[in-house]
Amino acid sequence: MMIATRELTKRFKSVTAVDGITLDVAEGELVALLGPNGAGKSTTLRMLTTLIPPTAGSAEVAGLDVVTRQREVRRRIGYIGQGNGAGHSQRGRDELISQGRAYGLPVRQARARATELIDSLGLGEVADRAVSTLSGGQRRRLDIAMGLFHAPELLFLDEPSTGLDPQNRANLQEHIVRLRREHGTTIVLTTHYLEEADSLAERVIVIDHGRIIADDSPERLKAKHVGDRIVLTFHSEEDAGRAAHLLQAARKDDQVTADNGPAQVPEILEELRTAGLTPAAVETRRPTLDDVFLTLTGRSLRDETPEA
């Protein structure tokens, strides 16, 4: 196991930020922690990256206890936090070289690796400028270059795409996918962007109030907790009523909830035709992770305003 936590808990005075999280992540997994602001995602990551000690419970990262073997853990992991890793008065290339030196690389090697990462992240034009003059997207790429510098076997990213425009967000996701494909890096990221969790991760862990409330692949989460929706539109109110009665659907805007919706459409149409009903339009709606969250908590993630 790359990560193994048991009842991991963090309390800040009156707030229980993380409330007994038990979690295993295997080597090579790409996991997204999804949850609203204040759910405890960052706090979980900060415990796993040795930044703060747990109040209770335990966590092992790469087989090493995060409290008693901090320095060894730090050697193995990369961490790209919510903020910007590069000092604003520094130059990007200098910061990359310092990063390499921090992991014990000789200057010459650190310099070569810096150049390599600058090229692969397209930072050539800006690497020798003060970090304070870079755009948000450029800074984020620099953060990623720093996180990848020592080629960690396990990479944590906290809200990696917050503040990025769609173009940069897509670039970032591409990098994450490539990293995984080319190096088999285990990746744990947090996000409150549903689409990101959905398109990027094979495993989504939904967190709310410091607890895991669901943990599965996006597809299975949707199938299990929501199911597909089939929306039938009729020419008249009366027809709609009859159809609903016939299908005994959970009524809401003439929607029918079903497992594997598209495959059921022909059957439903056949049933309706037998009763002399013809819908004006048929639409199947696959659920989003937001629907999953809504079902699980009664709240929508979309109401959340992003916060740094």
Partner 1 sequence: MSSLVTDTRVVFSRELRPVLRSPFSIVFSMVQPLFFLALFAPLLPDGTSLQWFVPGIIVMSCLFGTSMTGSNLLYEIQTGSHERMLVTPLRRPALLIGRALKEIVPMLAQAVLIVLVCVPFGFRLHPLGAVFGLLILAGFCVGLGALSYTLALASKNQEWLFWTVQQTLLFPLLLLAGVLLPIEDGPAWLRFLSKINPMTYVVNAERGLFDGDVWSRASGYGLIAAAAVALVGLMIGVRAMQRSD
Which candidate, 198, 216, 206, 201, places its Cα nearest to that of 293?
A: 206
Size of the site for partner 1 (CB under 8 A): 31
163 burial class (0-12, 13-18, 19+ CB within 10 angstroms)?
middle
Binding residue (CB under 8 A) for partner 1 from 1, 4, 52, 223: 52
For partner 1, the binding residues in 202-231 under the rule CB under 8 A are none
Q: Is there binding between residue 79 and partner 1 (CB under 8 A)?
A: yes
Q: What pairs with residue 58 in β-bridges?
A: 6
Binding residue (CB under 8 A) for partner 1 from 6, 11, 69, 101: 101
Distance between CA atoms of residues 287 and 291, nearest Å: 6
Size of the site for ligand ADP (CB under 6 A): 11
- Structural Rg of the chain based on CA atoms: 24
Q: Would you give the end-to-end CA distance of the chain in angstroms?
A: 31
Q: Is there binding between residue 186 and Mg ion (CB under 5 A)?
A: no
* Shortest CB 167 distance to Mg ion, Å: 23
104 burial class (0-12, 13-18, 19+ CB within 10 angstroms)?
exposed
Task: Answer for the pair 148, 124: CB distance below 8 angstroms, yes or no.
Answer: no
Among the residue ranges 33-41, 95-103, 163-171, 246-254, the one whose residues contact partner 1 (CB under 8 A)? 95-103
Binding residue (CB under 5 A) for Mg ion from 42, 50, 138, 186: 42
Site map 199..238 versus ligand ADP, x via CB under 6 A: ----------------------------------------
Binding residue (CB under 6 A) for ligand ADP from 5, 34, 41, 152: 41
Binding residue (CB under 8 A) for partner 1 from 3, 18, 146, 212: 146
Q: Is there binding between residue 17 and ligand ADP (CB under 6 A)?
A: yes
* Shortest CB 125 distance to ligand ADP, Å: 33
Which candidate, 42, 61, 62, places its Cα nearest to that of 52?
A: 42
193 binds, among partner 1, Mg ion, ligand ADP, none (CB under 5 to 8 A by kind): none
Binding residue (CB under 6 A) for ligand ADP from 9, 42, 138, 171: 42
Distance between CA atoms of residues 110 and 104, nearest Å: 9
DSSP string covering 148-201: HTT--SEEEEESTTTT--HHHHHHHHHHHHHHHHHH--EEEEEES-HHHHHHH-
Interface residues with partner 1 (CB under 8 A) are 46, 49-52, 71, 74-75, 77, 79, 81-91, 94-95, 98-99, 101-104, 143, 146
